[in-house]
Amino acid sequence: MPVSPAPTTTVSRAPASNTSVAIVGPVCCQSEVMSATLGGCSGPGNGLDSRGARVQPRAEGHRAAIGIAPHDRKGVAGASRGEDAGGRSEGARRGRGRRTRRPGREDHMASIRSIGTAVPAARLRQSEVRDFFASQPGVDRLTARLIAAAFDGSAIETRYSAIGALGPGGGLFTDEAGLLRSPSTGERNDRYRSEAPALSASAARAALARSGFSPGDITHVITASCTGCFAPGPDVLLVKQLGIPGTAERLHVGFMGCAAAFPALRTAAGLCVAQPGSVALVVCTELCSLHIRSSRDPEQIVASAVFGDGAAAAIVASGDAPDPRAGGTGAHRFRSLEVDGFTTALTADGEADMDWTIGDRGFEMRLTAEVPRIVGREIAGVVDGMLDGADPAGIAAWAVHPGGRSVLDRVQQALALPDAAMAQSRGVLRDYGNMSSATILFILERMLREGSLAAGEQVAGLCFGPGLTVETVLLRCAGEGSADPSPDSETAPVAEDRA
């Protein structure tokens, strides 16, 4: 008889004309950088610069510099929803809701036993990509200013790309002179189909090696992606590439944007609780750079400065599944993350500020400067529900999806978190950019690899996606020693460097 995953808890609440070029990434939340970029200023909403140092706040009047009238959506729509003095909507104040809790018996809990990551071979320096976009035809002085401000204020140093280095040489995306081509959506998706499987398999192999499980132990395969699609899909290819039994149950989570990792993990955890002895492989793979395209929209300039490519995989197992690294005794010898619970919150507005559609020349994104403001206004209420009213200061570590620097700033300000709590999230943004759904797993992998968590300490995870949706998870560190027999191992580039 089919068994459904554990139930999910939902907390419901209720343009310039300059030509530019952009890498269009999947829907996420970095657009406050755009708000600053429009006036050529830096500094996020909470008075932190790109390195986290305090700066004096800037007024919003800079938006009028290019004819965009400043406005406060909260003052218009928020009043009718009955926001409190802190700016939280009525739904955020009242709807803490029930979170999906861990069962009382330890052998019925699910845990993340290991995480593996992979990136393409081409490593792009932010300054070089900035100069590439600034050199394209149709970029006038104002557009060049916007490009420089978006890239230099992104708090990103490097990203990785499946389409190779950008510049002269010719290929699907650039010509011999280094000018950007405009491939069709079909051509871009063909590249996804050729590049994504190897990246997915590399991350999955890393996760398996760290967990001690073999491919034959896997009972469920769950994949997530929003930057390409094909069938038979990546779930089928993983079974064949890795030698996973053909009887493993499979599921693909598609087009849920940057927040997709947590619904995938939630599904895996629910299956592992419902079916004791289960071992699930979760793989999130995103090739955002495939949707590079020319654009007349300043929002796309910001997108070009933020998105990167990568894959991450997690092994999720039920509590009664033995730890192979402990000699099959069942003891959790190495670090793992026990699942305490998940929540989902849908904010009252934001649907029109974040969407991700399929166009004729790649996937197209709409992302406005309202997104970080909405996140900052709603996140305290969402976290209050996730923690059942407990003080966020009691959480040892925070894994926050870095949709962009300003999203991290808004979350840190709203929750009054110390800089140390955001260190891994900002570090992944700096080193990899925003890799959509894979990014949050990169952050959790870094926490485990660095050994910064003590047994019993809790980790809170926050992701943001279309809707506007906030997905959360509460995890608890378990086990002794390192999460990885080779704790110094880092993400290894895979695949060929190609343009």
Sign of CA dihedral 398, 401, 407, 409: positive
Joined together, the tokens standing for residue 100 give 């999906």
d(CA 29, CA 350): 11
> Quick check: 290 and 227 in contact, CB under 8 A?
yes
The crossing angle, in degrees rounded to 10, of helices 423-432 and 439-450 is: 120
d(CA 309, CA 489): 20
End-to-end CA distance of the chain: 49
| Catalytic residue check, 477 | no
Residues 6 or more apart in contact with residue 101 via CB below 8 angstroms: 340, 341
> Quick check: 469 and 346 in contact, CB under 8 A?
yes
Q: Which of 28, 29, 226, 258 is catalytic?
A: 258
Phi-psi group of 50: left, alpha or beta (phi > 0 → left; psi -120 to 50 → alpha; rest → beta): alpha
d(CA 408, CA 44): 9
Q: Is 146 helix (H, G, I), strand (E, B) or coil?
A: helix
H-assigned helices in 231-389: 234-242, 261-274, 298-304, 370-386
Residue 221 phi/psi, 5-degree rounding, is -125, 125
CA angle 123, 311, 276 (to 5 degrees): 160
Q: What b-and-e string marks burial along 264-297, b requiring 16 or more CB atoms within 10 Å of the CB?
A: bbbbbbbbbbeeeebbbbbbbbbbbbbbbbbbeb
CB count, 10 Å around CB of 499? 17
Q: What single-letter DSSP state applies at residue 9? A: P
> Quick check: 84 and 92 in contact, CB under 8 A?
no
| Partners of residue 345 on adjacent β-strands | 11, 470
Provide the annotated active-site residues: 258
